Amino acid sequence: MSKFHDKFDSLVWEIVAGIPPGQVMAYGEVARVAGFPRYSRMVSGAMGRAPEPLPWFRVVRSNRTLAFEPGSKSYREQVQLLKQEGVRFEGPRVIAVNPTETLDKMLWGPEV
DNA sequence: CCCTTGACTATCT
DNA sequence: GAGATAGCCAAGG
């Protein structure tokens, strides 16, 4: 039995496992890197089927919010695990340890 | 085979 | 920038 996701799943697991601590990736990014551009929704399924523990908490929505319902058990767990790695929270949005996509830091340098 | 469901996204208001 | 809308695609009923 080889369903479509046999390959997809293992790719996702590999990619997710490769996300460095303090860094986050969107579902769509993972899917795209895996070579399946429109499979963002499938990424969650793949992680749920992972045979061994994955840093699933490093995968967030494209808008940098968490995919779980705020207040839910998984949501709180994810928040804690992320904070534990130094990830900051700006309201519901997560700020990776090294947010290279913001020009502010490049222009103004690390203030803090 | 049609319809619904998701740990989603891009786009428009 | 938040909320609504329309795509998206495999799985399961």
Domain ranges of chain A: 5-108
Q: What torsion, rounded to 10 degrees, do the Cα atoms A45, A47, A10, A50 define? A: -110
Chain B: nucleotides below 7 Å from protein CB are 6-10
Residue A91: CB less than 7 A from any atom in strand C? yes
Domain A5-108 fold? Arc Repressor Mutant, subunit A (1.10.10)
Percent of chain A with pLDDT over 90: 79
A97 or A36: which leads in pLDDT: A36
CB-to-strand C under 7 Å, chain A 51-90: none
Residue A99 pLDDT > 90: no
pLDDT of residue A45: 95
Q: What is the pLDDT of residues A71-89, one digit of tens each?
A: 999 999 999 999 999 999 9
